[in-house]
Copies of this chain bind each other. A is one copy, B any other.
Amino acid sequence: MTRDIRMKGFTGTTSLEEALAVIRDRVKPLPPEEIALDGAVGRVVASDVRSAVDIPAFARSAVDGYACRAEDTFGAGPFDAIELKVAFEVLAGKKPPRPLGRGEAARVMTGAPVPDGSDSVVMFEHVEARDASIRLVQALPPGKNVITRGEDVKKDEVVAPRGRRVRADDLGLLTSIRAGTLRVHRRPTIIIYSSGNELVRADSATQGDVEIVDSNGPMLAALALHEGIAATRGGILRDDRTLIADALRSAKADVIVTTGAASTGKEDWMPVLLSELGELWVHGVSIRPAHPIGFGRLGERLVFLLPGNPVAAFVGFRYFVRPALNLLGGIPVAEAFAPERTRRAVLAKKIQSVIGRTDFTRVRFLEDGRVEPIRTGGASALTTLTRAAGIVTVPRDLEGLEEGTEVEVDLL
């Protein structure tokens, strides 16, 4: 297999759709773990969470006012005021002293339990308060301003279904049922390696002027962090077969991401070694940029071989690694491959492409809200990405997209 890759180049052409199907079919959620609720936002619920309690746990007042029996107020009107005796007061967090009797009202504060026997609350500003009584000139419908027990959540109701990615409002709801901890899918760990004899760390002393600063390592780590994962920085690997093999074999992470040495050149050890040590599922995808991308498995670890070209590394992470991280983290398939933020816009200028290849075209917005492709003379230049507001995908069965086409922009 070694000889094949390095001498023959890419063995076939895998389409984007075929490559993503491999990820979709082979990447399964990591096992669940129990975590404290505080850290649960962004995590994926591993099994349905049911409430052990009613929310609210007691009928309570939604306003400051007087709890009444609605039927006592029936018939009240501007010329037929009804008077109720104020029997007691209920403060928030306190139990009512006794049930409410006929013809009685109880002063209640917002959030306070309404006394048994009452079924509605009239707001302070809607009554005439006397010394120990109130006068109403309007009948109350039963239930007015009362939040009934279990109105929000009923006991045994599912409050967070399996596969749900926890949001801040879910956290609020789970807190209110005193969930305490939550069973979520484990988040994948990642290690990132950059490969290339020309690479130096940004903080290294300059040795000459023929080195290139490893910017992909930090960029990929930032992309991982955006997915909530603090990646391990494996550092820079020389283009050395033994050294790279050792690094891959000893990497401790669910996902190994490498950048550089991914193609079919003399020093491109990544696909060679992955196919020897593990399984190289796909190598070479008919996309631009990131055509030499490869991925597969080494033991239990997923391995992504991204090209060294920074734009290609970025695209490879965004459209291959990120969906895989989503799947590992338990995100359902439909969502795992969906872009994070999109905006529909009209093309102000034609995008050229080639049939048989999917293009990820960097675009910028014009003042009128339309988009145009960024000129990419040097396609490897990171500035073609930093100047872009988003990416438009040109499908492989098209020669390009005409001016005036409505496109979905994957926002950066």
The residues of A with any CB-CB pair to B shorter than 8 Å are 9, 37-38, 41, 56-58, 60, 62, 64, 91-95, 109-113, 124-125, 147, 151-153, 159-160, 167-173, 175-178, 180, 196-199, 202-203, 208-216, 218-223, 225-226, 239, 263, 265-267, 308, 310, 314, 340-344, 377-378, 380-383, 385-386, 412
Do A109 and B265 touch (CB < 8 A)? yes
Copies of the polypeptide in the assembly: 2
Let me know if A169 and B93 touch, CB within 8 A. no
Nearest residue, chain B, Cβ from A218: B175
Contact: A170 with B386, CB < 8 Å? yes
Given A92-B239, A197-B93, A203-B180, the answer on whether A213 and B9 have CB atoms closer than 8 Å is: no
- Asked if B218 contacts A111 (CB within 8 A), the reply is no
A386–B212 contact, CB under 8 A? no
* Nearest neighbor of A164 in chain B, beta-carbon distance: B386
Q: Assuming A58-B210, A95-B210, what are 17 further A-B pairs, CB within 8 angstroms?
A: A9-B125, A37-B218, A38-B218, A38-B221, A62-B380, A92-B267, A151-B378, A152-B378, A153-B383, A168-B219, A169-B310, A172-B218, A172-B219, A173-B215, A175-B202, A178-B203, A344-B344
Q: Which of B95, B176, B225, B308 contacts A382 (CB 8 A)?
A: B176
Expressed in whole angstroms, the Cα–Cα distance for A153 and B385 within the complex equals 13
Q: How close is A52's CB to chain B, nearest CB, in angstroms?
A: 12
5 pairs, A vs B, C-beta closer than 8 Å: A92-B196, A92-B239, A171-B218, A172-B310, A176-B310
A205, chain B: closest CB distance, angstroms: 11
Chain B residues lying within 8 Å of A60, measured Cβ to Cβ, are 212
Q: Of residues A37, A94, A215, A222, which shows the largest number of chain B Cβ atoms within 10 Å of its Cβ?
A: A222
Do B340 and A341 touch across chains, with their CB atoms under 8 A apart?
yes
Residues of B within 8 A of A343 (CB): 342
A219→B166 CA distance, assembly (Å)? 11
Q: Which residues of B contact A412 (CB under 8 A)?
A: 167, 169
Shortest C-beta distance, A38 to chain B (Å), equals 7
CA A178 to CA B180, docked complex, whole Å: 45
Q: Once the chains bind, are B383 and A216 in contact (CB under 8 Å)?
A: no
The answer, among B92, B172, B211, B382, for a CB contact under 8 Å with A173, is B382
Contact assessment for B265 and A110 in the assembled complex, using a CB-CB cutoff below 8 Å = yes
Which residues of chain B come closer than 8 Å to A94, judged between CB atoms?
197, 210
From the candidates B169, B172, B213, name the one contacting A175 in the complex (CB within 8 A). Answer: B213
> Contact between A211 and B9 (Cβ–Cβ < 8 Å)?
no
A56 CA / B382 CA spacing, docked (Å): 11
